[in-house]
A and B are shown apart, each in its own frame.
Chain A
């Protein structure tokens, strides 16, 4: 009660206040900066990369980092920095679409289940979710690949399907507590039906939860895409992908460690940035949690 950090923050902090707090959160600043760097790299790569990655330059193959190629070149003489920039596109695209799929299906399912809590529908939705959880994303990807062949699209589908129950669950649990609140009761009394209440009153209030979870699933998506591409189930050549670059580097790791080092670092830093950002956002949206986690 006497904690000044908490008493200062009203339940719905004004936007200006949130920005102010956001810049004071170390997690959020570092995480946001790391994420921004990779998003920027991906965007810049559409108009400019240091070298053209479609041009092979065998004379300059497997060169260690130098002034010309800051991160060295690969076994085809391609500039690794340029490859990482273009690879960021693949990672971000796959993860964004996969999170989108998860939210598109998961959120309405979660809202629906919460609105009909305890009914057969709720039970069916939640059991179906449990079932998807029994298939780790990798197994879904393996099945899709066995059936349809490997591609970035199939990797997106696999990670997206895995995301659906995650969002359904978090939406349902957030919505369930909201359904007990007075303002929802008031909306019911005023004659609004469950669907309208879900959209108008419940959804806006679970947005924070969804943003935090979205950030976490985004980082998991990048890890999953890298893993799938590494074993050849994700993006196919010539689409550059960080996981693919690591797979290519594996046989050359003893004499060209830089080929393995930089794409891995790119994955690590992006995922780290997203995770820190997720932690920061969670603290920002829920000051009570911040206090208990310290």
Chain B
């Protein structure tokens, strides 16, 4: 297990290193001079030169890369060009919205998907199964930002149960803060729940057709008992993998939903920085999101190997 973990860790480190190079090259090298890019076409030459100096763009590419990475490793993400505040503080600030939103959405999606998937699998072919599968088919096809707009129309504009957007901050209290995250979380959770319910169902059906379930039934367990005591736990392995993957996609996927609801999260920060040409912020936030995705995938692989020892010896 230790060897497997070490191997995965090395692979994780390589992934992150390559990702950082890709991001660095894409943002710092491709567009030409970031300083001129930030200031726009009408900038004076000495202004551009001053900004270049201030941004530390005068060193070689290697020096710039290593100072960026060195900064990231020590928690110094640089200073935002437009806001004149440390990028790390801005990210920490925005995480207070994006992280709870992702957790909220993941919780909702799991709470919806588990019962739906189990019901569909245990009553395979019934009206309940057919309708659950039909709904999930719609859930996978619906663009989540459009679903979000429809919910704003129904629950915020017509029924006035929720506000149409914005975030009061955690200082305003737990209830108002959670309430303002509810519609965004539902919009994010719907497609995820649909995927998860389908996987839960097919995984359970696969497990239910295995020999040990037949043995359990032969011992006199009812179908429901066999499902609860034996099938569910075994069927959970692929489901947990998907949940892990979904969490990282929720963090990145929230970028669009945050725009629908005007939530001050990481997604809005990225868009604001793109439009204000604050490339340092874009670079660092993208790196952070990639880091989150890679890290969650790593955690999933390790957990998976812990649960299923066969995996450790494969490849």
Contacts and interface: CB of A to CB of B under 8 A. Distances in A.
A134 B256 contact: no
Interface stretch (A62-70, A139-147, A179-187, A280-288): A139-147
Contacts of B174: none
B307 to A, nearest CB: 21
B11 interface: yes
A254 interface: yes
Interface in A208-228: 219, 223, 226-227
Given A138-B256, A246-B145, A246-B149, A143 B11 contact: no
A293 interface: yes
A246 B152 CA distance: 13
B255 A231 contact: yes
A139 B146 contact: no
Contacts of A148: 30-31
Please tell me the size bucket of the interface on A: 35 or more
B49 interface: no
Contacts of A135: 19, 290, 293
Contacts of A231: 255-256, 259, 271
A130 interface: yes
Given A223-B143, A272-B138, A276-B137, A127 B14 contact: yes
A37 to B, nearest CB: 15
A268 interface: yes
B141 interface: yes
Given A136-B249, A148-B30, A254-B157, A275 B152 contact: no
Interface string A252-283: 01100100110010011101100110000000
A119 interface: no
Interface string B119-136: 000000100000000000
Interface in A224-256: 226-227, 230-232, 243, 246, 249-250, 253-254
Contacts of A269: 141
Contacts of A276: 137
Contacts, number: 121
Please tell me the size bucket of the interface on B: 35 or more
B125 A146 contact: no
A134 B141 contact: no
B140 interface: yes
A272 B141 contact: yes
Contacts of A223: 143
A268 B26 contact: no
A91 to B, nearest CB: 11
B182 interface: no
Interface in B250-296: 252-253, 255-256, 259-260, 270-271, 274, 279, 282, 286, 289-290, 293-294
A138 B202 contact: no
A246 B146 contact: yes
Contact of B153 (A142, A143, A253, A293): A253
B293 A134 contact: yes
A254 B18 CA distance: 47
B146 A143 contact: no
Contacts of A227: 143, 145, 256
Contacts of B270: 142
A1 interface: no
Contacts of A293: 202
Interface string B143-161: 1011001101100010000
A135 B19 CA distance: 9
Contacts of B271: 231-232
A294 interface: yes
Contacts of A272: 137-138, 141
Given A131-B15, A139-B252, A146-B279, 5 more contacts: A133-B297, A146-B274, A147-B30, A268-B141, A292-B209
Interface of A: 127, 130-131, 133-136, 138-139, 142-148, 219, 223, 226-227, 230-232, 243, 246, 249-250, 253-254, 257, 260-261, 264, 267-269, 271-272, 275-276, 292-294
Interface of B: 11, 14-15, 18-19, 22-23, 26-27, 30-31, 125, 137-138, 140-143, 145-146, 149-150, 152-153, 157, 202, 205-206, 209, 249, 252-253, 255-256, 259-260, 270-271, 274, 279, 282, 286, 289-290, 293-294, 297
10 contacts: A139-B252, A139-B286, A142-B286, A146-B282, A147-B27, A148-B30, A250-B149, A260-B146, A268-B146, A275-B140
Closest 5 CB pairs of A and B: A264-B146, A272-B141, A271-B141, A147-B30, A136-B252
